[in-house]
Structure 1
Amino acid sequence: MTRAAVSFSTGAASTGSAPAGSQTMHSQALAAALAQLDNVILGKSHQVRLAVACLLARGHLLIEDQPGVGKTTLAHGLARTMGLAFRRVQFTADLLPTDLLGVSVWDAAAAEFRYHAGPIFSEVLLADEINRATPKTQGALLEAMEERQVSEGGVTRPLPDPFFVIATQNPAAFVGTSPLPEAQLDRFLLTVTLGYPDARAERTLLETGGRVLTVRDLPPVLNAPLLTAIQREVDGVHAAAPLLDYLQLLARATREHAALAAGLSPRALLALLAAAKAWAYLAGRRMVLPEDVQAIFPALAAHRLPVRDPSIRIGDVMARVLADTPIP
């Protein structure tokens, strides 16, 4: 990482139009938010940081793991800490798109249809076990994620701002799952896997009966207006020309890799830049370094890069791509 820091030590970094004082306040608020989440999701600081970066980059998050490792706790804790309205929808095989998006019902007294909004009209929506729903319902959610609006009965209704979807997905081997197609997976900015806690974190859970700090105890550290202001500052994080060269080299490496059936698309490359800006902002910088790209790359690329041979681990491929791609 030292090489990256030296290569990008020159050039003016853009800090946007926000005063330095507000940036300091925002950084302090984010640091407090991360610390609070670390007290709830024990031993998973990197995954927590990825989730926050995803929110700052205006993306959506996919959490892939087995039940019982803290996926719902992370989603609810993030919403509480950020001061955002939270709704949870349990995805099942009989869930209909209208159950999610809402429906217009005839009001005989008023002689008109009245729209009853669905749970998707929330600032943070947890789509729990998304791959248990039918492709039609999955598609309804993902369309809203892309357009950030819902169209029903000829009327288009904007979704809240911010609007953040956290979807959890069971392993494909589980009974009753319908895997998300590649085009739908691409709508998620990042994918994270929580995995089992380490021995120290697990022992703390055992000693406290899992009551280290419950989600209901969490006070809001931020709020929606403050978060949107921070998101605008993230947009203004500077990416120098050599950094853009590095992104293109990474994309070319994935497109030409023999083990991959397809590489990163231009849309994925834009997503990588946005996520790297958020990661740099969390590090207290207003300029993207290659180390930011490297830190975010596995979570961004894992669900976008199909391997030709199922026996090949995508993690090994991504590690090799990062190791072999030169930094300009």
Structure 2
Amino acid sequence: MTITPPPAAGPIGAPPAPGPASGAGTGPITPDELQRARRIFDTIVAGYSQKVVGQDSLRTTLLVALITGGHVLLESVPGLAKTTAAESIAESVSASFRRIQCTPDLLPADIIGTQIYDPSTATFGTQLGPVHANFVLLDEINRSSAKTQSAMLEAMQERQTTIGGENHPLPSPFLVLATQNPIEQEGTYHLPEAQLDRFLVKEVLGYPSPAEEAEIVRRVNAGVYEPGGTHGQAVTLDDVRFLQKLVHRVYLDPAVLNYIVQAVYVTRHAEQYLPPALAGYVEYGASPRASIAFASVARALALLSGRGHVIPEDVKSYRYQVLRHRLILGFEADADGVTPETIIDAIFGAIQAP
């Protein structure tokens, strides 16, 4: 079944406005630039793979977030190498890394920093918090209070912190990996939907295969994870900034852009395009941030694949990561065991790829 949204949908069926969204006004990516990007990616992946076994989807997600400037919400049970993965990527790009363990008594000042009084000079000095790093791992973000979550999410959005009335820019690149534990909800604060929407993607990790788990044990026994262990070759932050500029020049055809907007449009009007049994589970669809995220992620995936243009598969392959935290389902879905992924599959089955 295919759909053609009604004219009231606005941008659907219309060409995109000139500017970064369509690659207008910039030249095509050259083969030399693609080769340089491939060398950078290969170096980062090699450093990541030295310590992290499997988790290929997480690796791709971290690379996508790194070159698009987005942030990642990660859901998994404990012990699946979330910290190791983030730290390995940071080491591979010569970046600073900080881990923040969220607790109910964590204060905003513990994250962004505060002013410290110096009695010897009778003045206040600014002490920056751990958020002032290139890579920040917020472990169990839903265990911190709403006030602390708000301070962190403001830093993510504004790329700066305010301490004592002074603005302090965050370093570039800046990537936040926030984790949630799905099996323990006692003493947690649910992230509001508006805050969830600010994460570029949401990744859900599963357990490793038996072969991967055996390799993890072998690496632990070999001391790979000991402090001062072997580190591979690293790229520079200038290389990362090169990728961040290059990804904006990846060509996004108007037909692919319409494909993105159609998918997001259907999330808001599920009753018109999905079977009633599925449409009834959807309470709210995705905001325009979903379309923006799809475009950014698709460009990054194209660049990771060595292409200077986006294809529909770049959009479809990351449909779960972009939409699963933006699609709000009713309590009936939870009672009936219907997951966001089921609805997302139905949505993409209802539209026609270009």
Asked if the contact 2:113–2:127 (Cα under 8 Å) also holds between the matched residues in 1, the reply is: yes
Distance 2:223 2:125 in 1: 45
Distance 1:313 1:219 in 2: 39
- Opposite residue 346 of structure 2, the aligned amino acid is R
Taking the TM superposition and a 5 Å limit, the aligned residue runs for 1:149-160 are 149-160=160-171
Distance 2:326 2:231 in 1: 34
Asked if the contact 1:61–1:167 (Cα under 8 Å) also holds between the matched residues in 2, the reply is: yes
Q: Is there any run of 5+ residues in structure 2 with no aligned partner, and where?
A: 1-21, 271-278
Larger displacement relative to structure 2 (23-32 or 95-104): 23-32
In the alignment, is residue 269 of structure 1 matched against residue 291 of structure 2? yes
Figure out how many residues of one structure are paired with residues of the other and give that number.
317
Sequence identity, in percent? 34
CA-CA distance at 1:206 after TM superposition:
3.4
Q: What is aligned with 2:276?
A: none
Query: Could you say what secondary structure the match of 1:226 adopts?
Result: helix
Q: 1:131 to 1:287 in 2, by over 3 A?
A: same
Q: 1:210 to 1:249 in 2, by over 3 A?
A: farther
- Opposite residue 146 of structure 2, the aligned amino acid is P
Taking the TM superposition and a 5 Å limit, the aligned residue runs for 1:44-63 are 44-63=55-74
Aligned residue among 233, 247, 251 for 2:246: 233
CA-CA distance at 1:19 after TM superposition:
5.5
Can you list the C-alpha shifts for 1:178-204, whole angstroms capped at 9, x where unaligned? 121111111111111221001211122
Query: Could you say what secondary structure the match of 1:217 adopts?
Result: coil
CA-CA distance at 1:320 after TM superposition:
1.4
In the alignment, is residue 282 of structure 1 matched against residue 304 of structure 2? yes
Taking the TM superposition and a 5 Å limit, the aligned residue runs for 1:63-212 are 63-171=74-182, 173-209=184-220, 211=222
CA-CA distance at 1:39 after TM superposition:
4.0
Q: 1:175 to 1:228 in 2, by over 3 A?
A: same
Query: Could you say what secondary structure the match of 2:70 adopts?
Result: coil
Q: What is aligned with 2:321?
A: 299
CA-CA distance at 1:226 after TM superposition:
1.0
Distance 1:132 1:112 in 2: 35
In the alignment, is residue 256 of structure 1 matched against residue 256 of structure 2? no
Asked if the contact 1:40–1:212 (Cα under 8 Å) also holds between the matched residues in 2, the reply is: no
- Opposite residue 277 of structure 1, the aligned amino acid is R
- Opposite residue 98 of structure 1, the aligned amino acid is A
Distance 1:119 1:209 in 2: 28
Query: Could you say what secondary structure the match of 1:166 adopts?
Result: strand
TM-score (norm 1): 0.90
Q: What is aligned with 1:244?
A: 257
Distance 2:220 2:132 in 1: 35
Q: 1:126 to 1:16 in 2, by over 3 A?
A: farther
Q: Please tell me the root mean square deviation across aligned C-alpha atoms, in Å.
A: 2.1
Distance 1:17 1:238 in 2: 8
Q: What is aligned with 2:34?
A: 23
Asked if the contact 2:29–2:308 (Cα under 8 Å) also holds between the matched residues in 1, the reply is: no
Can you list the C-alpha shifts for 1:75-102, whole angstroms capped at 9, x where unaligned? 1111111221111111111111001111
TM-score (norm 2): 0.84
Asked if the contact 1:13–1:286 (Cα under 8 Å) also holds between the matched residues in 2, the reply is: no
CA-CA distance at 1:319 after TM superposition:
1.3
Asked if the contact 2:47–2:91 (Cα under 8 Å) also holds between the matched residues in 1, the reply is: no
Query: Could you say what secondary structure the match of 2:48 adopts?
Result: helix
CA-CA distance at 1:207 after TM superposition:
4.0
Distance 1:217 1:140 in 2: 36
Can you list the C-alpha shifts for 1:294-313, whole angstroms capped at 9, x where unaligned? 11121111111111222321
CA-CA distance at 1:172 after TM superposition:
5.8
Larger displacement relative to structure 2 (43-52 or 148-157): 43-52
Distance 1:172 1:101 in 2: 29
